[in-house]
């Protein structure tokens, strides 16, 4: 499994983890923003009116209302990325990474507008009477041309649909329940398989009813979970009110230089902060990925552009509001660059060849170049003598991108005495008997949990994170079941959906008590395999998109002459 994981990481490094992927994603957003005349700004007020149902007609065809489609899509995007993903971005790239997350969201508002409009335009009615839509349908049905020559993009639709099925497990299913079960175990002491069993039953009851039941559940779940998280986040920010302005300044002050070293944080280069901010931004709001258009395609509307308007609101709510709140929680509470007692993850651990001093500028510069530019550094190889858990040799250990302190070596839960073999900075532990504990930076959901205790609620703040994570992650699993459902329908027809749902629920239960590290890597690959054909497809249909928008406003002006016309 370790060897397979390493191979998958190499594959991911060439696509989703590569710099060109981030550039392609952002440049597509920049292109459509300019090409369509900044629709995320000009159409924002109109989008609010559409989602309220002001222009609805009884004759509109679809399975859900505009708001239900928005709630379903939001429940798929508002998940662990908003709690754990923001914390991971700040941990990796510092405050500057938050700026690039916001840029990704602002441009993503336009990308969502385009992909949802086109997906809604080419949706179909399945044999069971339900609406089926998404990028695979515009790839199959739209008229693609290159210098007048007709292109067949049906193969690309198949690639997208297959990637969507795998992503439904890799993004919306397995990692979500794993995060929930671990959080519930840590907070409430409930065994992971018990949490998995209860939530699997609930998941099955929801998704068996299809999009109409999913929409009813998510339209109630999303506002509830947003309200709970908002109260918790504001309690932290207002409790640390004196840090609000400095926190905002820190986000924007280092955007062109990278975040400087401070506290236990060694610092982050510009390109590193950029990549991590863009990557976490995409994972959070999924703009360009092609997932949300599947939910929006089911919305009742007589005009596809109106549903595209609704989609403009998604990255704004998901990233610009919720992720910004999480970012301010982390920065204002001051926890993001401090070391805390934690169990060390071996993947984040390196034993260095000499002692490094955090107060020595040359040492920090060397570690900075190692972490940000992959420059060579002296790593320890040999045997370390350990007595009562203490390493006898004076040496520095790098964990979670920080110099670890008060390190204790455990074997099967007890202080270890004996020899510890190390090769090229890594502990040789074939039987997985050794565990290291100590103080270092923390990241992802544990970091957000710590931040929420620095509030008016004190230690009770951790329960808000646990409840929020449970609701966010569970709602994500619900929505992604529908995305996989529609992809399976596209590939094999409606009769195959029941088998997909059974496997989906079974996988959800199993992942509650097994390690899903490899699943996150698979998720990164499948996200890229969804995003790339979708971006290529919408770029080919740019002229059709522009003419479709123009027709929408022309018809709108005739039908509603008293309404304010954004153009």
Q: Please give, one letter per residue, the 3-state secondary structure of 277-318.
A: HHHHHHHHHCCCCCCHHHHHCCECECCHHHHHHHHHHHHHHH
Nearest by Cα to 50 from 120, 3, 111: 120
Look at residue 416 in the predicted model and tell me its pLDDT: 94
Look at residue 392 in the predicted model and tell me its pLDDT: 94
Is there a contact between 390 and 408 (Cβ–Cβ < 8 Å)? yes
Alpha helices in 374-460 (DSSP H): 444-452
Give the CA count within 13 Å in the CB-facing half-sphere of 462: 12
- How far from chain centre, in Å, is Cα 96? 18
What is the residue-level pLDDT of the chain in tens, covering all 567 positions? 567 767 877 887 788 777 788 889 889 999 999 999 999 999 999 999 999 988 888 888 888 888 888 888 887 777 777 787 788 888 888 898 899 888 888 999 999 999 999 999 999 988 888 888 999 999 999 999 888 888 889 999 999 999 999 999 988 888 888 878 887 887 788 998 999 999 999 999 999 888 888 888 888 888 888 888 899 999 999 999 999 999 999 999 888 888 888 899 998 888 778 877 877 776 678 888 999 999 999 899 888 999 999 999 999 998 899 889 999 999 999 999 999 999 888 878 899 999 999 989 999 999 999 988 878 899 999 999 999 999 999 999 999 899 999 999 999 889 999 999 999 999 998 877 889 999 999 988 788 889 999 999 999 998 888 888 888 888 889 989 999 999 999 999 989 999 999 999 999 999 888 876 677 777 778 888 899 999 999 999 999 999 999 999 999 999 888 887 775
Look at residue 233 in the predicted model and tell me its pLDDT: 94
Look at residue 516 in the predicted model and tell me its pLDDT: 67
Backbone angles phi, psi at 535, to 5 degrees: -65, -40
Is there a contact between 8 and 521 (Cβ–Cβ < 8 Å)? yes
Tell me the residue length of the chain.
567
Nearest by Cα to 278 from 29, 43, 53, 493: 29
How far apart, in whole angstroms, are the C-alpha atoms of residue 97 and residue 86?
9
Alpha helices in 122-260 (DSSP H): 135-141, 154-170, 174-188, 192-207, 210-239, 244-253
Instruction: Give the 3-state secondary structure of residue 61.
Output: strand
Range 2-55+64-338+451-559: architecture per CATH? Up-down Bundle (1.20)
User: Where exactly does CATH 1.20.1740 map onto the chain?
Assistant: 2-55+64-338+451-559
Structure pTM? Answer: 0.86
Look at residue 473 in the predicted model and tell me its pLDDT: 85
Count Cβ neighbours within 10 Å for each residue of 423-437 and write b for 16 or more, e otherwise.
Answer: eebbbeeeeeebbbb
CB burial of residue 304 (10 Å; 0-12, 13-18, 19+): buried
Alpha helices in 52-95 (DSSP H): 66-77, 80, 86-93
Point out which residues pair with 219 in neighbouring strands: none
Count Cβ neighbours within 10 Å for each residue of 164-196 and write b for 16 or more, e otherwise.
Answer: bbbbbbbbbbbbbbbbbbbbbbebeeeebeebb
CA angle 412, 427, 8 (to 5 degrees): 105
């Amino acid at each position: 499994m370790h060897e397979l994981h390493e191979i998958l990481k190499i594959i991911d490094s060439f696509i989703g983890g590569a710099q060109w992927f981030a550039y392609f994603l952002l440049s597509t957003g920049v292109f459509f923003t300019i090409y369509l005349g900044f629709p995320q700004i000009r159409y924002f007020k109109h989008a609010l009116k559409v989602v309220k149902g002001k222009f609805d007609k009884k004759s509109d065809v679809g399975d859900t209302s505009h708001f239900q489609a928005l709630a379903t899509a939001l429940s798929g995007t508002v998940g662990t990325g908003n709690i754990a993903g923001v914390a991971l971005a700040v941990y990796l790239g510092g405050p500057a990474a938050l700026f690039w997350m916001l840029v990704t969201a602002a441009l993503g508002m336009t990308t969502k507008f385009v992909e949802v409009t086109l997906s809604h335009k080419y949706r179909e009615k399945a044999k069971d009477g339900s609406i089926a839509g998404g990028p695979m349908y515009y790839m199959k049905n739209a008229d693609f041309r290159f210098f007048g020559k007709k292109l067949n993009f049906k193969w690309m639709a198949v690639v997208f649909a297959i990637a969507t099925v795998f992503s439904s497990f890799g993004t919306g299913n397995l990692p979500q329940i794993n995060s929930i079960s671990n959080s519930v175990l840590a907070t409430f002491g409930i065994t992971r398989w018990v949490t998995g069993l209860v939530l699997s039953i609930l998941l099955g009851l929801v998704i068996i009813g299809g999009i109409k039941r999913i929409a009813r559940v998510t339209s109630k779940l999303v506002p509830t979970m947003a309200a709970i998280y908002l109260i918790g986040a504001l309690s932290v920010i207002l409790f640390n009110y004196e840090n609000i302005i400095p926190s905002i300044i820190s986000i924007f002050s280092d955007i062109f230089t990278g975040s400087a070293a401070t506290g236990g944080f060694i610092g982050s280069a510009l390109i590193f902060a950029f990549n991590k901010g863009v990557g976490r931004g995409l994972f959070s709001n999924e703009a360009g990925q092609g997932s949300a258009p599947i939910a929006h395609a089911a919305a009742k509307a007589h005009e596809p552009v109106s549903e595209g308007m609704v989609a403009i609101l998604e990255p704004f709510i998901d990233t610009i509001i919720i992720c910004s709140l999480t970012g301010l929680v982390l920065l204002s509470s001051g926890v993001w660059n401090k070391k805390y007692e934690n169990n060390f993850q071996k993947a984040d651990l390196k034993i260095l060849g000499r002692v490094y001093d955090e107060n020595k500028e040359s040492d920090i510069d060397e570690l900075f170049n190692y972490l940000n530019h992959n420059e060579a550094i002296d790593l320890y190889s040999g045997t370390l003598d350990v007595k009562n858990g203490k390493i006898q040799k004076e040496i520095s250990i790098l964990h979670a991108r920080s110099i670890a302190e008060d390190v204790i070596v455990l074997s099967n839960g007890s202080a270890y005495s004996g020899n510890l073999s190390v090769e090229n900075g890594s502990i040789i532990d074939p039987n997985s008997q050794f565990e290291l504990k100590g103080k270092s930076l923390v990241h992802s959901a544990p970091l957000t949990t710590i931040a929420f205790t620095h509030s008016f609620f004190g230690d009770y703040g951790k329960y808000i994170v646990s409840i929020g994570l449970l609701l966010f992650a569970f709602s994500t699993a619900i929505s992604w079941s529908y995305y996989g459902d529609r992809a399976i329908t596209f590939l094999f027809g409606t009769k195959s959906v029941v088998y997909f749902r059974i496997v989906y629920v079974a996988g959800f239960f199993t992942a509650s008590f097994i390690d899903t590290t490899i699943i996150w890597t698979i998720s990164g690959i499948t996200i890229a395999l969804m995003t790339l054909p979708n971006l290529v497809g919408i770029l080919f249909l740019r002229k059709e998109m522009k003419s479709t928008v123009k027709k929408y406003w022309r018809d709108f002006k005739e039908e509603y002459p008293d309404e304010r016309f954004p153009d």
